Amino acid sequence: MVASWMKPSAWALEPEESNFAPTTSRWSNKDMDPVPPLLRTWSTWNYVTYWISDAVNLPTWELASSMLAIGLSWRQALAAIAVGHTIIAMVMVLNGTVGARLHVGFPVLNRSSFGFWLSYFSVISRVVLALFWFGILTFSGSECIDQMIQAIWPSATRIPNRLSLSAGITSNGMMCYFIFWVIQFPIMLISPQRIRWFFLIKAVIVPIAWIAILIWAMVKVPPSISLDNQRASVSGSVFAWAWLSSMNSALGNYATLAVNIPDFTRYARNERAQYIQAILIPTLFTLTGFVGIAVTSAGKVLYGETLWDPTTLIAHWDRAPKFFAALSFLIATLGTNISANSLSAANDMMVLFPRYINIRRGQILCAILGGWALAPWEILASAPGFLNFMGGYTIFLGPFAGIMVADYWLVHKGKVDVAAMYDPNGRYRYWNGINWRTVVALLFSVSPSFPGLISSINSSIRIGDLNHIFDIAWLYGFFVAGFIHWSLSKLFPAHETFIDTAIIDLYEHDQDTDANSHSHNHSSDEKVIGGG
């Protein structure tokens, strides 16, 4: 029995004939195929609740507050957040429209611009980032559990520590981490079509709680005391680069989702449903940033120290408000970790091993690898340089997004072949599966930021003005990569990738032939279409 379970064949998914890949199971599976019409369930309202849910999270709270530490005033910090998120919203809609139009996720879509095999570089990059940040946000959620337990049982602070100092975590911390992980696990396994209801719940509960916290802060310490007395402590060129660096941080906050937003918009009822993101993203994230600034500023007056982490701020509160505030932070962290990390990692891992991994299995692997194998508590406790590296790794994400936007909208003008994205020998093979134009674009857009990345990891390495490129790494990478990719594609066109009419909805013929047969005999209908 055990021996049979050790065989790879025992873990192979139930064979489902992919109607878009040339061979069954090897290049695609049911979750990788374009989303069929019956499963395109996300409406405009679902994207509204999704972004209300995703904007209200701890990293966004802390992002604005941290900008004050480098010398910006609160108004300047909010301006950086607003401009940064306006730019990222435009990119989100451009890439999101592609997902909503083609109904395929980022890993498959990327093959049309990178080439079938080179696309795996961007996919693996996303997997690594998602796994690490899944673990780090899970640890943040455990801090919320810690505050909730202390609110119910204050004696929990006296739990003896049985772990060594080298473990990077206490016995109490490990208990809280395990509790949050267990709470999070079943919610992760909700299908992408149904998880939108969790985002709706979060979009109602968390904003109400955070508005209540904001009102508390303004009543306790009026803005005339907490905010109006704040002034920028930098000026001239120092201020200019500090502001640009802050805006780049705002861009980097959701640089990953700007790349893989098709993983969510592929479920849209139509491409118009996700246009609302252009307005929602800058508005919601700026408001959330203001809450972080206002509450942190009030906390500085009340407690005499700058408490950027809201879980440390509520530790000063009475038991009941501490519990409910921590609960709101917990729900906020859950939603963000599932949307930005768990589902993203699952979509990416599924493309690497479609015969063995679907979305659900990918999320389980993410929970195990990101949650336990990477030991995020050790990363947070003893490796700040590594955290800087993970944050700096977003130097790749700007170029990825720029290449995707340039290729679909400027080079091919929306005329792509969805079926060919599943064929390693199809029109998107380029040169041995590699689009050399993309390689050149990545080389010139990423390399100049490397000195700044190295300096951020090891501050003893001085690079002078070269660090300024790293300060605007996302913007630089996005525009440089997009321009080079577009230019080379015009000068040296890959003729085999150009078609007169887009081949998009391969289910359309199925609907026209028999509107009801799709729901009764889904797999057999797809097979006919795929063979056409």
Q: pLDDT tens digit string along 448-474?
A: 998 888 887 777 787 877 788 988 999
Rounded distance between C-alpha atoms, residue 352 and residue 372, angstroms: 21
Per-residue pLDDT tens for 208-244?
A: 999 999 999 999 999 989 888 777 888 888 899 989 9
pLDDT tens-digit profile of 261-295?
999 999 999 999 999 999 999 999 999 999 998 99
pLDDT for the residue numbered 23: 58
Query: What is d(CA 485, CA 441) in angstroms, rounded to the nearest whole number?
Result: 5
- Give the DSSP letter of residue 171: H
Confidence of residue 4 (pLDDT cuts 50, 70, 90): low
pLDDT band at 507 (very low <50, low <70, confident <90, very high): low
Q: Does 328 have pLDDT greater than 70?
A: yes
Q: Return left, alpha or beta for 250; rule: phi > 0 is left, psi -120 to 50 is alpha, else beta.
A: alpha
Secondary structure of residue 123 in the 3-state scheme: helix
The pLDDT tens digits of the residues spanning 348-372 come to: 999 998 888 999 999 999 999 999 9
pLDDT at residue number 529:
30
pLDDT recorded at residue 475: 93
As given in the structure block, the two tokens for residue 187 are 């919610």
pLDDT value of position 69:
75
Query: Which residues, in sequence order, are CB contacts of 10 under 8 Å at separation 6+?
Result: 4
pLDDT given for residue 512 in this prediction = 42
Helix (H) or strand (E) holding 420: none
The 10 Å Cβ neighbour count of residue 322 is 20
Q: Could you tell me the pLDDT band of residue 16, with boundaries at 50, 70 and 90?
A: low
Tens of pLDDT, residue by residue over 117-171, are 999 999 999 898 899 889 989 999 999 999 999 999 999 989 999 998 888 899 9
User: Residue 304 gets which letter from DSSP?
Assistant: S
Residue 164 CA, distance from chain mean position: 34
Rounded Cα distance between 80 and 85, Å, is 8
Q: Would you state the pLDDT for residue 506?
A: 65
Q: Which of 323-332, 335-344, 472-481 shows the lowest mean pLDDT across its residues?
A: 335-344
Least confidently predicted of 53-67, 95-109, 262-276 = 53-67
- Rounded CA-CA distance 192/267 in Å is 8
Average pLDDT over the chain reads: 86
pLDDT at 260: 92
Rounded Cα distance between 210 and 310, Å, is 11
Mean pLDDT to the nearest integer, 114-119: 97
